[in-house]
Structures are given as C-alpha cells and as structure tokens.
Structure 1
Amino acid sequence: MALKDYTEEQLKEISMIEVTFELLTEKNSPEDYSVLINRVAEIQGLSKERMQERIAHLYTAMSLDGRFVNLGDNRWALRSWYPFEQTEEELSQMMPKKRKADAEEALEDELEEYDEFEDIEDELDELANEEDSDTDEADEFDTGEPVVEEDDETDTDEEEETN
C-alpha cells in the first residue's frame, strides 16, 4: 500500500519503520538517513523534539529489520533490491565515496608514503652505522702483520707421505 493510499490519521498511527519502508519503496533508490527521518517526521506530523527522541529508535529498528540494508555513508536501501548472495561489505563498496573523504584518503596515503620513505632512510642509516662499526672493530685487531692463511690440503698431503 502506497503512502498516498493512507488517510492522515492512519499515517500518524502506523510505525515509523513502515513509513520508512513505504518511502524507500516509492523512491526506488537509496536515501540518506537524515532525509528519511525528516520525511517520516513530516508525514507523521512529529514535532522537532519528538523527532529528536525517535532518531535513534528508527535507526536501530532499521538495523534490526531484515528489509533494510545500510550501504555506508549513512545511506539506506531495501535489501530486496540486491541479490541475496551479495554481502553488506560488497554493498557498501558500491556506493561512491564523497569528495571530502577522497581528499582525506589521498592525504592519508601521502603521509603513509612519507612514513615508508622515512623508515627506509632509517634502515639505511642503521646499516651504514653497522658497517662503520664493523670496520672499526676490524681496525682494532689489525696488528700490521701480514695474515698467512694455512692450506688444509697441504697438511693432509704431508700426513699421507708419512704413512
């Protein structure tokens, strides 16, 4: 039954969730929650105070009612508009983000890139310091005499000749 088929008294008596369902059914597209609550208040003749009292109640009722789905960014739609297999995460990704959110996300990405370069610089500095300390340690053990390396094969050949 469409909203226009109800009498004024019936509109005041039916629940806010039913009015919201009818609004979305008639519009046949997702809607912002603030627009929905304002339209419901207008249709049911609610005062501003009464509307403020009922905002959380309607939001909770919509969240629990299986006919509605939250698309993210405070936008609501009817679940029947989407395939059953489609998860809520997929639905919220379908909605385009606002430009302000895009700008904030770009700034966040830029800061992350800066942090990554800073981390790489820190790692390179640590490696350079380790190499410097390795060279310093090698200098401490340097006595100035040439290093003679022993050949293991020569020792085994001499042992075989004596046997």
Structure 2
Amino acid sequence: MDFEHMSEVDAAYHILAKKGTPVHYKELITEVIEATHKPVQSLAMAISEIYTMMNMDSRFHYEGESKWGLTEWVPPEVKRSSSRASSATAKTAITKETARKKKLESIQN
C-alpha cells in the first residue's frame, strides 16, 4: 500500500486494519512515521499530533492500557428500552423545552 500519499491518520487506520489487533500508541505512531516517510523535526511533536488526530477520528477506539484499535472491532451496545421509557423521555424533553421558552420570553420582556 502506498502510505506516502495519504495522511498519517489514514495510514494508522490501514496499519491497524492489517494487524487486526489493538496496538500501543507509540508503536503504531512509529510505524505510521516510517510508512509515510514524512520528515519529522521532533518525535514528541509528531506523536502528539498523530495521537490527537486519532483521538478526534471516530474510526479509532481507545482500548485501554495505551492501546488503540478500530471502532469497527467493538460490538455495538445493546440498548434495552420500552415504549414507556421512550414516551417518558419525550415528555421530559417537551417539558424542558416549554420551560426554556418561558425563560426566554421572560428575559425578552
């Protein structure tokens, strides 16, 4: 794969996808830097930048113990809800919205 023409975060995604298992962030970022062949003035700054990009990208999932994996590896949460719970939530939202409107009206008057 041609990592030289892709962003560091895309390279990290492809490296993790190929490995198929969570990787310690320093190991992953070192592999990204080597694979992309982009000049690095400061290793600490490069680690910080790539780590931040991964943290903001929803494709990545923090696994704990400084290891990162892919969100697609994490099974979706099973949410249990009853119709009673959803209607109660809807009523609460309507009540809050009404209270908010009344507060805004009182401020504007």
TM-score (norm 1): 0.44
Find the counterpart in structure 1 of residue 91 from structure 2: none
Answer 1 or 2: higher relative contact order, Cα 8 Å, separation at least 6: 2
Q: Does 1:66 align with 2:58?
A: yes
Find the counterpart in structure 2 of residue 81 from structure 1: 73
In the alignment, the residues of structure 2 paired with residue 14 and residue 50 of structure 1 have an alpha-carbon distance, to the nearest angstrom, of 20
Secondary structure in 2 matching 1:49: coil
Find the counterpart in structure 2 of residue 14 from structure 1: 6
Which of 27, 36, 58 aligns to 2:28? It is 36
Deviations along 1:15-49, whole A, 9 cap, x unmatched? 00000000000000110001101101111124453
For residues 1-163 of structure 1, what are the structure 2 equivalents within 5 Å?
3=1, 6=2, 11-47=3-39, 49-85=41-77
Q: Which runs of 5+ in 2 are unaligned?
A: 79-109
Indicate if the aligned counterparts of 2:40 and 2:46 stay in contact, CA closer than 8 A. no
TM-score (norm 2): 0.64
Q: Which runs of 5+ in 1 are unaligned?
A: 87-163
The count of residues paired between Structure 1 and Structure 2 equals 78
Task: Looking at secondary structure, tell me which structure has more helix per residue.
Answer: 1
Q: Structure 1 residues 18 and 55, CA, compared in 2 at 3 Å: closer, same or farther? A: same
% identical aligned pairs: 28
Higher Cα radius of gyration: 1
Whichever residue aligns with residue 75 of structure 1, its letter is K
